[in-house]
């Protein structure tokens, strides 16, 4: 046993994975690390467990258990070695139930999976911890064929239970949820400061069922719902703060900025852009720090054609941000299991998700909100784009400066009134050559009032002129040209709406 008086240390990789997730919440992590004289995390270095407790405490007291739950989900996916080992355990489980899917065999396979998965997770905790190794780890005890007692002991604070609950939930969901429903209940929490350790005791009950979704979809739903819960809490925090007195100005600004960072975190990460475009740039400027515009890319882990979507939701500020979250989550659901759905069908699916998500499919609905959107399914091998739009169009400019405007259908999505047949989105097949430039803009660009008299809309002609004049320029230069011209046009006039422009080239 180690010296009880020595501090417990944890791997730099643990801190780094936490920092990657909470970067969405702004400067919280950096401030704590900098105060400890740490400006860069070394994965191979060891750090005091108190550092993680400080990080988790700050997050918990500001954003609650929802934030720690999301961090646990992200951490589980961060450790590639753990995922590979878990995949092998999952494959062994799947093979067992394929050979014999009887109740008794499934229960035996479940028990074997839990023992292997818990054992692997326990070793991961110990490998990432220097300290009381005789205590840290996870233990599982069978109560009945479908009931198990699980004890997790780690160098963590007593209020941080949601972190490990999400780690267990992620592991069970990824490999079991399409065969078993489960209920994970916290039974007790024991904090032992002498050992720098908290022990959480859970009871998990499994019930056999058959899901119509695969494991990837179920885990995607879990991640979406966790992010949804956190973002809603942060946005609500900002909304409540806006109603406080001037004395709370700093809290107001901080809350809105946190919500803005989370909303920016919903935009595609670089990994979803890399290797898909020769050049890609964008403008994303909410009118009120947070807003209703978004652009979205399907997962880079999926093979075949990929999907790009742009949406302009009703309103701006907090209401627009909440609606954009619903749209983003709906797109994740539509394309969670691949990009087979064509853009027109995807828009109709999005129409359904928004209408039902806002309860606008009922006669007593008090809201009537929705969005305009464009969806592109891009096949790099065939040099084709399948495009469908709902009041959003697509600009295409060749290297010779020839511009084509592909116009979307005359419908909006999600509102109370269903889309009539004549206005339903249709798929347009667009062929392109290397060097062609494409652009999508929301009406925050084209409807902005400005100019010499301050009464004229920016319109499409000015945008088209820039695209043609810069047909050989980089997308970064094109975005900068649009930004300069738009700012000059707006002048001293008030910004009317959220502004988004996406420009790309293959």
Query: 235, 266, 297: which is the final residue of a domain?
Result: 266
Q: How far apart are the C-alpha atoms of 281 and 494, rounded to whole Å?
A: 25
Q: Note the pLDDT of residue 364.
A: 80
More confident residue, 257 or 197: 197
Question: Residues 352, 442: one domain?
Answer: yes
- Mean of the per-residue pLDDT values for the chain? 88
Is residue 216 scored above 70 in pLDDT? no
Is residue 223 scored above 70 in pLDDT? yes
Structural domains counted in the chain: 2
Q: What are the start-end ranges of the H helices in 23-79?
A: 28-35, 49-63, 65-78
Question: Residues 227, 376: one domain?
Answer: no
More confident residue, 206 or 357: 206
Question: Residues 372, 493: one domain?
Answer: yes
Q: What are the start-end ranges of the H helices in 369-458?
A: 443-446
Query: 234, 266, 298: which is the final residue of a domain?
Result: 266
Q: Note the pLDDT of residue 238.
A: 65
Is residue 76 scored above 50 in pLDDT? yes
Is residue 481 scored above 50 in pLDDT? yes
Q: How far apart are the C-alpha atoms of 503 and 440, rounded to whole Å?
A: 7
3-state secondary structure of 170: helix
Q: Note the pLDDT of residue 157.
A: 92
Residue 313 structural domain: 267-505
Is residue 3 scored above 50 in pLDDT? no
CATH code (residue 221): 3.90.1520.10
Q: Which candidate, 417, 332, 420, places its Cα nearest to that of 369?
A: 417
Is residue 52 scored above 70 in pLDDT? yes
Could you give the angle at the alpha carbon of 297 between the alpha carbons of 296 and 303, nearest 5°? 160
Q: Note the pLDDT of residue 2.
A: 40
Q: Which candidate, 132, 153, 136, places its Cα nearest to that of 202?
A: 153
Q: Under 8 Å CB-to-CB from 35, ≥6 apart: which residues?
A: none
Where is average pLDDT lowest: 86-100, 102-116, 408-422?
86-100
Give residue-wise pLDDT tens across range 269-311.
Answer: 888 999 999 999 999 999 988 889 999 999 888 888 999 999 9
Give me the mean pLDDT over the 442-470 stretch.
94
More confident residue, 128 or 221: 128
Question: Residues 463, 314: one domain?
Answer: yes
Question: Residues 39, 145: one domain?
Answer: yes
Give me the mean pLDDT over the 224-249 stretch.
66
Residue labelled with tokens 């002048």: 491
Question: Residues 382, 424: one domain?
Answer: yes
More confident residue, 102 or 2: 102
Question: Residues 105, 83: one domain?
Answer: yes
Q: How confident is residue 5, by pLDDT bands cut at 50, 70 and 90?
A: very low
Cβ(171)–Cβ(76) under 8 Å? Answer: yes
CATH code (residue 385): 3.60.40.10
Q: Note the pLDDT of residue 357.
A: 87
More confident residue, 227 or 354: 354
Q: Note the pLDDT of residue 195.
A: 82
More confident residue, 457 or 364: 457
Question: Residues 236, 295: one domain?
Answer: no
- Which residue spans within 209-278 are E strands per DSSP? none
Where is average pLDDT lowest: 11-25, 27-41, 164-178?
11-25
Question: Residues 20, 151: one domain?
Answer: yes
Give residue-wise pLDDT tens across range 183-202.
Answer: 999 999 999 988 889 999 99
Q: How far apart are the C-alpha atoms of 440 and 332, rounded to whole Å?
A: 20
Three state DSSP letters for 468-479: HHCCCCCHHHHH
More confident residue, 451 or 431: 431
Query: 208, 240, 266: which is the final residue of a domain?
Result: 266
Question: Residues 486, 404: one domain?
Answer: yes
Q: Note the pLDDT of residue 429.
A: 98
Question: Residues 255, 361: one domain?
Answer: no
Backbone dihedral angles phi then psi of residue 408, each to the nearest 5 degrees:
-80, 175
Where is average pLDDT lowest: 245-254, 259-268, 431-440, 497-506?
245-254
Cβ(397)–Cβ(471) under 8 Å? Answer: yes
Question: Residues 180, 310: one domain?
Answer: no
């Amino acid at each position: 046993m180690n010296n009880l008086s020595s501090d417990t240390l944890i791997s730099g990789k643990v801190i780094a994975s936490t920092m990657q997730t909470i970067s969405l919440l702004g400067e919280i992590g950096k401030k704590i690390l900098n105060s400890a004289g740490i400006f860069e995390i070394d994965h191979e270095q060891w750090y005091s467990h108190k550092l993680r407790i400080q990080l988790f405490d700050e997050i918990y007291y500001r954003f609650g258990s929802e934030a720690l739950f999301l961090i646990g989900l992200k951490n589980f996916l961060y450790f590639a070695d753990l995922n590979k080992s878990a995949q092998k355990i999952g494959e062994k489980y799947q093979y067992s139930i394929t050979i014999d899917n009887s109740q008794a065999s499934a229960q035996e396979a479940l028990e074997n999976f839990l023992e292997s998965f818990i054992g692997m997770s326990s070793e991961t905790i110990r490998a990432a911890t220097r300290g009381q190794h005789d205590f840290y780890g996870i233990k599982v005890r069978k109560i009945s064929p479908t009931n198990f007692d699980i004890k997790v002991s780690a160098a963590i604070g007593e209020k941080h239970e949601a972190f490990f609950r999400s780690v267990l939930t992620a592991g069970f969901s990824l490999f079991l949820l399409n065969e078993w429903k489960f209920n994970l209940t916290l039974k007790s929490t024991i904090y032992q400061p002498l050992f720098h350790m908290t022990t959480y005791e859970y009871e998990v009950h499994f019930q056999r069922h058959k899901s119509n979704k695969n494991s990837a979809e179920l885990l995607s739903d879990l991640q979406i719902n966790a992010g949804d819960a956190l973002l809603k809490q942060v946005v609500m925090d900002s909304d409540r703060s806006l109603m406080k007195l001037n004395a709370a100005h700093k809290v107001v600004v901080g809350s809105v900025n946190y919500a803005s960072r989370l909303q920016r975190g919903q935009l595609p990460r670089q990994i979803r852009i890399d290797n898909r475009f020769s050049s890609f740039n964008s403008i994303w400027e909410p009118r009120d720090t947070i807003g209703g515009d978004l652009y979205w890319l399907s997962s880079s882990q999926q093979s075949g054609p990929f999907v790009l979507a742009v949406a302009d939701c009703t309103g701006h500020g907090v209401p627009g941000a909440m609606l954009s979250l619903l749209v983003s989550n709906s797109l994740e659901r539509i394309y969670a299991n691949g990009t087979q759905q064509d853009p027109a069908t995807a828009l109709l699916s999005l129409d359904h998700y928004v209408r039902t998500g806002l309860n606008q499919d009922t006669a007593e609905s008090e809201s009537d909100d929705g969005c305009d959107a464009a969806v592109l399914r891009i096949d790099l091998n065939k040099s084709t784009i399948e495009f469908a739009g709902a009041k959003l169009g697509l600009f295409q400019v060749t290297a010779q400066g020839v511009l084509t405007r592909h116009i979307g259908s005359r419908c909006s999505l999600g509102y109370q009134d269903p889309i009539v047949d004549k206005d339903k989105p249709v798929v347009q097949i667009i062929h392109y050559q290397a060097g062609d430039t494409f652009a999508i803009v929301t009406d925050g660009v084209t409807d902005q009032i400005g100019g010499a008299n301050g009464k004229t809309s920016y319109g499409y002609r000015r945008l088209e002129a820039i695209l043609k004049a810069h047909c050989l320029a980089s997308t970064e230069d094109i975005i900068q040209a649009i930004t300069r011209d738009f700012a000059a046009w707006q002048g001293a006039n008030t910004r009317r709406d959220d502004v988004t422009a996406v420009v790309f080239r293959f």
